[in-house]
Amino acid sequence: MKICVAGAYGAFGLKHLDALKNIDGVEVTSIMGPTKEKIEALAAERGINHFSTTLEECIKRSDVEAVILSTPTQMHADQAIACMEAGKHVLIEIPMADTLEDSARVVKKHRETGLTCMAGQVRRFNPSHQWIKNKIDAGELKLQQMDAQTYFFRRTNTNAKGEPRSWTDHLLWHHACHTVDLFQYQTGGKVVQAYGLQGPLHPELEIAMDMSIGLKAEDGAICTLSLSFNNDGPFGTFFRYICDNGTFIARYDDLFDGNNNQIDLSNVAVSNNGIELIDREFISAISEGRTPNACVTDVISAMETLDKIERSIS
């Protein structure tokens, strides 16, 4: 499988490059980044033959079969559509778009082309959440409430590496997207009630810096999600699963019970790296000609919920 990584020297582009090294039968044949000096240096460092500052050049190449988009959110929809129009399979880092309209355009092009188009809903693949999903599917657990906290300290426009960002991030369409999709995935149905509250807007970025979201699933389970760019303390996303048969706390790729005893996840998947697992699913789905977990036709329901939340707070 010959792959192009777009946005390769960003925080998550580098995570994908590292993950792909661990997967047999994969070659990164092209990388893209907006600054020639940086992308050329990365290509030399990683031994990648082709680099470019434009996605258009990369997807014209015959030695690119699939593309991983780790580019700014606002570019995702148009770039994903361009990839599919060029005959390339595409994995779009979360979120697939920052509006329901653009998400629907991506799904439409996927259906027209029949190419693999997968959204980067990595929480589905983290071993901690996979362990919960397996227990739910086996009938051993039923989710009563998911309590999630997504906290960062980003009062300036910086990325996950602490570097200046050329685009504006969003608590709802990016960070809440993780939890909204995961909640629907774990409960097995669409959200039937959704609302949002937001705090004051940033004076320059014009985005909410704090947000609270409430969800209710078809089976009656509820979700409470708190998000902040104002949190001066430990950052990341933390999940508490309150179930009929135990309470569990997920911290990225680790899982603990309600008494803070760590749960062994070594047999859940071939890796404990969620990014690697999502890349493996993307590549396997292409090779096997099947629909991947987190296909855009499935994830669109989370985007519909995000749209409903946005309309509730506007």
pLDDT in tens, the chain (314 residues): 999 999 999 989 999 999 999 999 999 999 999 999 999 999 999 999 999 999 999 999 999 999 999 999 999 999 999 999 999 999 999 999 999 999 999 999 999 999 999 999 999 999 999 999 999 999 999 999 999 999 988 766 666 666 665 655 789 999 999 999 999 999 999 999 999 999 998 888 778 899 999 999 999 999 999 999 998 887 788 999 999 999 999 987 899 999 999 999 999 999 999 999 999 999 999 999 999 999 999 999 999 999 999 999 86
CATH topology of domain 2-122+275-294: Rossmann fold (3.40.50)
Region(s) of the chain under CATH 3.30.360.10: 123-269+301-313
- Say whether domain 123-269+301-313 belongs to CATH 3.20.20.10: no
If you search the block for the tokens 């995961």, which residue do you land on?
A: 182
Cα separation of 65 and 3, whole Å?
6
Region(s) of the chain under CATH 3.40.50.720: 2-122+275-294
Q: Are 223 and 146 in contact (CB under 8 A)?
A: yes
Sheet holding 222-228, edge to edge: 191-198, 210-217, 222-228, 143-151, 236-243, 246-251, 254-257
